[in-house]
A and B are shown apart, each in its own frame.
Chain A
Amino acid sequence: EAEVAQSPRYKITEKSQAVAFWCDPISGHATLYWYRQILGQGPELLVQFQDESVVDDSQLPKDRFSAERLKGVDSTLKIQPAELGDSAMYLCASSRLASSNEQFFGPGTRLTVL
């Protein structure tokens, strides 16, 4: 069964360092999402891509976060510099179409900032 792949699964870093997360969506899925999930809460959307274009990045803290999906397939989310409050689970999801409500999630990257 096709799955969304993410790496690394865990990342520990010190504040002010740069971190990067990678996501490979389900093959053929045009829409890719990055979510942040704080412990004890539901996921919140950071950025949505349709192919290689950003559709929604209204909740992305653009002073320190960036995301790209250069070839419209896999994607990278970067934080520079990391802050203590960035500690969370970062989830990637994909859907076949932007109009499809059924999003499939990867296993996530657990980030701890010390």
Chain B
Amino acid sequence: GQQLNQSPQSMFIQEGEDVSMNCTSSSIFNTWLWYKQDPGEGPVLLIALYKAGELTSNGRLTAQFGITRKDSFLNISASIPSDVGIYFCAGQEGAQKLVFGQGTRLTINP
């Protein structure tokens, strides 16, 4: 099925570093969501974006809805060990189903 292009696929960083990841689509979306998934668990909603250009923060996490409506970005500042996991973007157009990216696996070296 249709999926978003999420990059990078994996990241290996040092604790305390900032993290940036992004998601692009060939389709226009009116909603972007960012989820985090720990091993063996379901995804947990981090941030929801509803307007082009919108910038929203949740603690050390900041996400932006791209002005073209075809991309979104997630930044994590001052990473800590509990940030380890897989981050998924998801986009939705109107009442259509959510389309998920392939995920970015974040590994943090202490």
Binding site for B on A (CB under 8 A): 4, 6, 40-45, 48, 56, 59, 91, 93, 98-99, 101-108, 110
B93 to chain A, nearest CB (A): 10
Q: Are B100 and A43 in contact (CB under 8 A)?
A: yes
A67 to chain B, nearest CB (A): 15
Identify A41's interface contact among B90, B92, B95, B102, CB under 8 A: B102
Question: Which bucket holds chain B's interface residue count?
Answer: 20 to 34
User: Inside 8 A of A40's CB, which chain B residues have their CB?
Assistant: 102-103
Binding site for A on B (CB under 8 A): 1, 3-4, 6, 31, 33, 35, 40-45, 48, 50, 88, 90, 92, 95, 97-98, 100-103
Q: Are B48 and A102 in contact (CB under 8 A)?
A: yes
Assuming A41-B102, A41-B103, A101-B31, is B95 touching A108 (CB within 8 A)? no
In the assembled complex, 29 residue pairs joining A and B whose CB atoms fall closer than 8 Å, in A order, are A4-B42, A40-B102, A40-B103, A41-B3, A42-B4, A42-B88, A42-B90, A43-B43, A44-B1, A44-B100, A45-B97, A45-B98, A48-B97, A56-B97, A59-B1, A91-B42, A91-B43, A98-B95, A101-B31, A101-B48, A101-B50, A101-B92, A102-B33, A103-B45, A104-B45, A105-B43, A105-B44, A107-B42, A110-B40
